[in-house]
Structure 1
């Protein structure tokens, strides 16, 4: 795995030594469903399609009877949606294989069967009636990819109406439908990164062709990007809670913002003036990689309550660095 092809541009994308080390470390990590999905997104953006299809294969092997792809502990409601992009590609590559039916079962779960509020907004964890900020990334890009823009809009708006703190330009973490309030209002860095990265991925997967999302998504991403950058500047760096410097330093949000910014510039929905910011964030992210290819100083798996390492941080490094090599 020394070179890749950017499928969107048709150009060879050689991997540098650091990218290869980060990718090797990623593939050696245990992964939950959303981590399998984000890993496959990194492989796809690097042009490593055959490798992404292998991840799609195992997501189908671990599909639950309810239709959730890649589930290990089967407590998530929406996280399996992140596996859908690679499975959709596999379904096109192998029409006689199991992938098309597996994707149909995943979509049936998200669109009709998964627990949700009265307005259709999906809950995040089985046994709760909570919406989490992470869901924007897990479902909105996939729903655009499969030609369900109205469903994507419902999920984006349903989560934004509940969790976005307009006074700060940032999202809270968790909403309780039973209590009808944000129970975790802190501006979690990774959560806001999921929003920016989710909008960027949705714009590439079909959202740019939906007039409502194309008008609404990029502007909202820019609001969150600007607020997150301002919070980091005020707090003296990126922290687990963006505007609370007493929380631990956290580097994955840097990578998530870099991915969103550089994808946005390359795809034309962010001004070119943001490119320098994105490249600076990528350079800082590269400084956080150790000699074994582990991205350090990030919100750590499995509980994400302290610094450590994680598959999602490995994948986001690769997504950000891949975006930095795309044509501008």
Structure 2
């Protein structure tokens, strides 16, 4: 059995929340496994909340994560389910006065993660205008010196550290959105490159990154390298990054691949379910596969 198949098998064996279901479907789509995309989409639609959020498990409190399943719903022909998810994002989901979405129901927090959860789906669903609104709103609140803080909150209770995973969600989300809607390139590609370059400046000699990019006291984490690899490889292939970024992406993937064990588990990623310690996660499994697919000629 190939390493890729072991990573995929381990991903499919994991319990998944809504965003994990979505990113798993993204990986399967990019690998050409449309059969699995249809199955993952059907499960997300089965668990669609009354308000339109896809893939909700046990009264999930996240306002935006279900939108990560929207791409699969579109591809699998669940047009009505995708429309309901889009309507939730466009008009019903909680947001700040300028339209920037809050990440969690009942809170005023803006998270870097949201960029990946909603921006590619908005692009795929024919609303690149809303995709730009979300990137710009998150950029204003979270981006400083081209690195993203994890969480902004109006009451000051956010998380200011430059979390590698949060920055990974941003650059990967923009890369995937531009793939769906190339017209977004002028508005978003330059920003994605600036963030990616700032992240790469924090790279360790072993090719990986600290969990908080600029804090060497935090643990060495695997998934950020995979997320940056995906963005670098995708941007190079789609022409909004120079071709040299493909070499960077492959090198990042090589470094992360050393953390894949015999069972196909990507080790020392931000570990589920709390993502504050070295462990394993469905998103790390999926991003390994996304980077592998992006590295193909």
What TM-score results when the alignment is normalised by the length of structure 2? Answer: 0.97
Among 128, 144, 148, the alignment partner of 1:171 is 148
2:274 partner SS: coil
Matched, 1:266 2:237: yes
Question: How far off its partner does 1:182 sit?
Answer: 7.5
- 1:34 corresponds, among 10, 15, 19, to 19
Q: Are 1:131 and 2:110 matched, yes or no?
A: yes
Structure 2: runs of 5 or more not aligned: none
Q: Are 2:178 and 1:199 equivalent residues in the alignment?
A: no
Closer/same/farther in 2, CA of residues 186 and 202 from structure 1, 3 Å limit: same
Q: Is the 8 A contact 2:122 2:131 kept in 1?
A: yes
Give the corresponding residue for 1:12.
none
Superimposed CA distance per residue, residues 164-190 of structure 1 (whole angstroms, 9 cap, x where no aligned partner): 012xx200011113x3x5731100000
Q: Distance in 1 between matches of 2:104 and 2:5?
A: 34
RMSD after superposition? 1.4
Distance 1:123 1:80 in 2: 13
Shift of 1:237: 4.2
- Report the Cα distance in structure 2 between the residues aligned to 1:131 and 1:249, rounded to whole angstroms: 25
How much has 1:225 moved relative to structure 2? 1.2
1:61 aligns with 2:46: yes
Q: Does 1:183 align with 2:158?
A: yes
Is the Cα contact below 8 Å between 2:207 and 2:251 reproduced in 1? no
1:262 touches 1:324 (CA, 8 Å); kept in 2?
A: yes
How do residues 129-168 of structure 1 correspond to structure 2 at under 5 angstroms? Answer: 129-166=108-145
List structure 1 runs of 4+ shifted beyond 4 angstroms: 234-237
Q: Deviations over 1:278-326 (max 9, x none)?
A: 111111121110000000010000000100000000000000011001x
2:33 corresponds, among 28, 48, 56, to 48
Structure 2 CA distance, aligned partners of 1:309 and 1:186? 22
Which of 181, 192, 199 aligns to 1:221? It is: 192
Aligned residue for 1:131, secondary structure, equals strand
- C-alpha deviation, 1:273, in angstroms: 1.2
Q: 1:289 to 1:236 in 2, by over 3 A?
A: closer
Determine the C-alpha separation between the residues in 2 that align with 1:69 and 1:250: 29
CA distance in 2, matches of 1:195, 1:291: 30
Task: Tell me the residue number matched to 1:248.
Answer: 219
Q: How many residues align?
A: 296
Do the aligned partners of residues 244 and 234 (structure 1) sit closer, same or farther apart at CA in structure 2, a change above 3 Å counting? farther
Question: Aligned equivalents of 2:204 and 2:257: distance in 1?
Answer: 19
Which of these two proteins has the greater Rg computed from alpha carbons? 1
Check conservation: 2:269, 2:280, Cα contact below 8 A.
Answer: yes
Q: Displacement, 1:80?
A: 0.5
Q: Does 1:75 align with 2:95?
A: no
**Structure 2 equivalent of residue 4 of structure 1:** none
Show the 5 A alignment for 1:284-303.
284-303=255-274
Q: Unaligned stretches of 5+ in structure 1?
A: 1-15, 92-98
Superposed displacement of residue 233, structure 1? 3.8
Alpha-carbon separation, structure 2, partners of 1:193 and 1:257:
6
